[in-house]
Amino acid sequence: MIHAAEETPEKVERFREALRSLELSEDAPIHFQVGQPSEAILNVQSEQQIDLLIAGALEQESVHRNFTGDVARFLLREAPCDLFLFVEPKESVAPPDHMFVAIPDFGPFSRQVFHQSAGLAERIGTKKMTLLHVQTTFAEAKEKALGTDAPSAQQNLEALVAALSSKTLDIDTHSVRGNTGFTACEFIQSNGADLLVMPSRIGEPGQPTFAPALDWIIQVIPTNVWVIRQVSGASVSA
């Protein structure tokens, strides 16, 4: 646990009490770090070599969208590890029934993200998974320029599903056309997704942390999000 404040006996006891109420180990380490919350979290992450950060998305609710909070935005841009961000944290919650996986391209990293997502879905009892690809006007023009022999985005999505042998998951595919990623955000939100898995690369100079069609997540968050990071220099298995 990471808390961006000075350590006091009272705060330690509040954490221990929370652990007891959740029936978790009272010996779990608590890291107190004075400073701005976002910087404090990343300082501890670096010192402890943490692979996964779990946090509230700290959204501000509006009529149509949940706006990603300041700390969550910072972690999405800067954290060199996987993230789990929860829109509405709860003590007791059922496993997600419907998981979305964003597929910005069809390279080895996207395949890895898909297989990791499917593995989690099977372990926790998720019933349905939707693979989502955003087809921009530019990508569509490029696809046509490659000729009829090149597989379409829909064919690539279907090939991903065909390569996975799952007896429990109902896997659907959907290709959204639009020049902005908000089309995908609205589609995810309107379809009642419980968890969205997103690939992200970090540490590559001049390259965006998220694919251009997915960078809306830094501003708005449609549901709980699992960000799977590829850190520059790390190997990716197909």
Decide if 21 is inside a domain. no
Decide if 39 is inside a domain. no
- The pLDDT value recorded for residue 190 is 87
Decide if 125 is inside a domain. yes
Which class for 106: exposed (0-12), middle (13-18), buried (19 or more C-beta within 10 A)?
middle
Inter-CA distances, 205 with 201, 208, 217, 232, Å: 11, 8, 20, 9
Decide if 203 is inside a domain. yes
Q: Is-contact 157 103, C-beta < 8 A?
A: yes
By residue range, what is the domain housing residue 224?
56-231
Q: Is 237 left (phi over 0), alpha (psi -120 to 50) or beta?
A: beta
Decide if 221 is inside a domain. yes
CATH number of the domain that residue 210 is part of = 3.40.50.12370
Which class for 72: exposed (0-12), middle (13-18), buried (19 or more C-beta within 10 A)?
buried
- The pLDDT value recorded for residue 154 is 86
- The pLDDT value recorded for residue 177 is 79
Decide if 51 is inside a domain. no
Decide if 171 is inside a domain. yes
Tens-level pLDDT at each residue, the chain (238 residues): 999 999 999 999 999 999 998 888 888 999 999 999 999 999 999 999 999 999 988 655 555 567 888 999 999 999 999 999 998 887 778 889 999 999 999 999 999 999 999 999 999 999 999 999 987 766 667 667 766 667 888 889 999 999 888 888 999 999 887 766 678 888 888 888 899 999 999 988 888 899 888 888 998 888 999 999 999 865 554 4
Q: Per the structure, how many domains does the chain have?
A: 1
Alpha-helix residue ranges (DSSP H) falling in the chain: 9-21, 37-48, 70-78, 108-124, 137-145, 153-162, 182-190
- The pLDDT value recorded for residue 55 is 92
- The pLDDT value recorded for residue 123 is 93
- The pLDDT value recorded for residue 148 is 60
Overall pTM surpassing 0.85 (yes/no) = yes
Local structure of residue 95 (DSSP, 8 states): P
Decide if 114 is inside a domain. yes
Look-up of token digits 């800067």: 78
- The pLDDT value recorded for residue 61 is 54
